[in-house]
């Protein structure tokens, strides 16, 4: 099983800002330039606008013409907890706010600025590029998560990023429960020029992962990405299957899967925290992607997850299209939630 601690810093980072970097083989061409930054940031801000408007409204109501006292701080802490930021972060923010300001009036803009800074501090350590150690070729990425959180779509987008970066990718249709799931992955395979290893419905997913690994070695792939069935955490047999995939892969390559990526749906809120807890225990999740940040997202939970789990957040999904996956940026995310201006 892959270690929970992320890999050490790379020796030879590639230029560009694709959200992944290679630890070896710097000769591979640089990834495509990202989409114009503003369009992504605007979508993120749009997606998080409901959360940030609510927060902003509460901040204005709470701090206007009122001196900072215990009650105000307590009310503010409650507001932050309601925004899913988590108790630990909420307390840190109110502590910071009270420093040197107790008994004084404080402007809403100043509160938002401090909020953004503290959120960024929590998120900054987890905003990391996905590292691919190509000495362990193929680098195996197992993608897990609750159904509908965006696993298959994220795999497609990721395959696009990697193939554009000059890497060869094989996809494994490990969701053997639904024909539609296999078809969905095959479409992404065609779009990205990646071979898809699939079997009939009902086939053993772990056995398929094993075969896909061999196929990826055979066809000289740099990266193997394995899709899995959307599983509810309470379905014991499905979770057992996830464990089996890990076990079987590690027989081929002790460190595989090298990356266990969990997708989290940004519209979910508080439940995402439990999802990480469970999938981390069962399948050794060592990286996260937050999807659907373009909708009516509740992004605060990512702050609570970062404070608690400290798992790298590699990418965020901001749409259903092939280019709608962006490297996670702590500053952009923090300012979108806190409603502070971009700079």
Residues making contact with ligand GTP (CB under 6 A): 145, 147-153, 175, 181, 230, 263, 291-292, 294-295, 317-320, 324
Which partner from the list Mg ion, ligand GTP, none does 29 bind, CB cut-off 5 to 8 Å by kind?
none
- Cα(206)–Cα(209) distance, rounded to whole angstroms? 5
Q: What are phi and psi of 317, to 5 degrees?
A: -95, 130
DSSP for 235-281 reads -HHHHHHHHHHHHHHHHHSTT-SSEEEEEEETTSTTHHHHHHHHHHH
CB closer to ligand GTP, 87 vs 187: 187
Sign of CA dihedral 160, 166, 170, 174: negative
Which partner from the list ligand GTP, Mg ion, none does 129 bind, CB cut-off 5 to 8 Å by kind?
none
Residues in contact with Mg ion, total (CB under 5 A)? 3
CB closer to ligand GTP, 58 vs 194: 194
Q: Which two tokens stand for residue 123?
A: 């998120």
What 3-state DSSP class applies to 194? coil
Instruction: Give the Cβ contact number of residue 109 at 10 Å.
Output: 15
Which partner from the list Mg ion, ligand GTP, none does 122 bind, CB cut-off 5 to 8 Å by kind?
none
- Given a contact cutoff of 8 angstroms between Cβ atoms, the answer to whether 227 and 185 are in contact is yes
Which partner from the list ligand GTP, Mg ion, none does 149 bind, CB cut-off 5 to 8 Å by kind?
ligand GTP
Position 152 contacts Mg ion (CB under 5 A): yes
- Cα(251)–Cα(125) distance, rounded to whole angstroms? 32
CB closer to ligand GTP, 292 vs 331: 292
- Given a contact cutoff of 8 angstroms between Cβ atoms, the answer to whether 99 and 135 are in contact is no
Stretch 202-241: interaction string toward Mg ion, x if CB under 5 A? ----------------------------------------
Instruction: Give the Cβ contact number of residue 76 at 10 Å.
Output: 22
The least distance separating ligand GTP from the CB of residue 252, rounded to whole angstroms, comes to: 24
CB closer to ligand GTP, 46 vs 54: 46
Which partner from the list Mg ion, ligand GTP, none does 131 bind, CB cut-off 5 to 8 Å by kind?
none
CB closer to Mg ion, 56 vs 228: 228
Give the residue among 20, 44, 41 at the shortest CA–CA distance from 32.
20
Position 263 contacts Mg ion (CB under 5 A): no
Radius of gyration over every alpha carbon of the chain, rounded to an integer in angstroms: 21
Q: How far apart are the first and last CA of the chain?
A: 41
Which partner from the list ligand GTP, Mg ion, none does 339 bind, CB cut-off 5 to 8 Å by kind?
none
Q: Which two tokens stand for residue 50?
A: 């409901």
CB closer to ligand GTP, 88 vs 183: 183
The least distance separating Mg ion from the CB of residue 135, rounded to whole angstroms, comes to: 30
Q: Give the distance, in angstroms, between the CA of residue 52 and the centroid of all CA atoms in the same chain.
A: 20
Which partner from the list ligand GTP, Mg ion, none does 145 bind, CB cut-off 5 to 8 Å by kind?
ligand GTP
CB closer to ligand GTP, 180 vs 240: 180
Q: Give residues in contact with Mg ion (CB under 5 A).
A: 151-152, 181
């Amino acid at each position: 099983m892959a270690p929970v601690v992320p890999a050490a810093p790379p020796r030879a980072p590639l230029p560009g800002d694709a959200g992944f970097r290679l630890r070896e083989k710097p000769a591979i061409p640089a990834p495509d330039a990202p989409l114009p930054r503003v369009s992504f940031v605007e979508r993120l801000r749009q997606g998080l606008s409901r959360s940030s408007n609510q927060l902003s409204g509460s901040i204005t109501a709470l701090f206007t013409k009122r001196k900072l006292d215990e009650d105000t701080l307590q009310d503010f802490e409650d507001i932050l907890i309601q925004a899913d930021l988590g108790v630990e972060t909420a307390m840190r923010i109110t502590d910071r706010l009270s420093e040197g300001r107790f008994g004084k009036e404080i402007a809403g803009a100043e509160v938002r600025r401090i909020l953004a800074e503290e959120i960024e501090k929590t998120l900054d350590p987890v905003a990391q590029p996905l590292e691919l150690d190509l000495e362990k070729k193929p680098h195996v990425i197992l993608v897990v998560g609750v159904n509908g959180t965006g696993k298959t779509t994220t795999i497609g987008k990721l395959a696009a990023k990697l193939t554009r970066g000059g890497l060869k990718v094989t996809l494994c249709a490990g969701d053997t429960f639904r024909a539609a799931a296999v078809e969905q992955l095959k479409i992404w395979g065609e779009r990205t020029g990646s071979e898809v290893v699939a079997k009939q419905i009902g086939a053993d997913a772990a056995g398929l992962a094993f075969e896909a690994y061999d196929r990826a070695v055979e066809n000289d792939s740099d990266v193997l990405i394995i899709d899995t069935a959307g599983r509810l955490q309470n379905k014991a047999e499905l979770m057992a299957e996830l464990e089996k995939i890990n076990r079987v892969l590690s027989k081929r390559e002790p460190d595989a899967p090298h990356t266990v990526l969990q997708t989290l749906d940004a519209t979910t809120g508080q439940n995402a925290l439990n999802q990480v807890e469970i999938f981390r225990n069962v399948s050794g999740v060592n990286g996260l992607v937050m999807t659907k940040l373009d909708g009516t997202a509740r992004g605060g939970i990512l702050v609570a997850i970062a404070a608690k789990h400290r798992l790298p957040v590699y990418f965020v999904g901001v749409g259903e299209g092939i280019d709608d996956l962006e490297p996670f940026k702590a500053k952009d995310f923090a300012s979108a939630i806190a409603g502070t201006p971009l700079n």
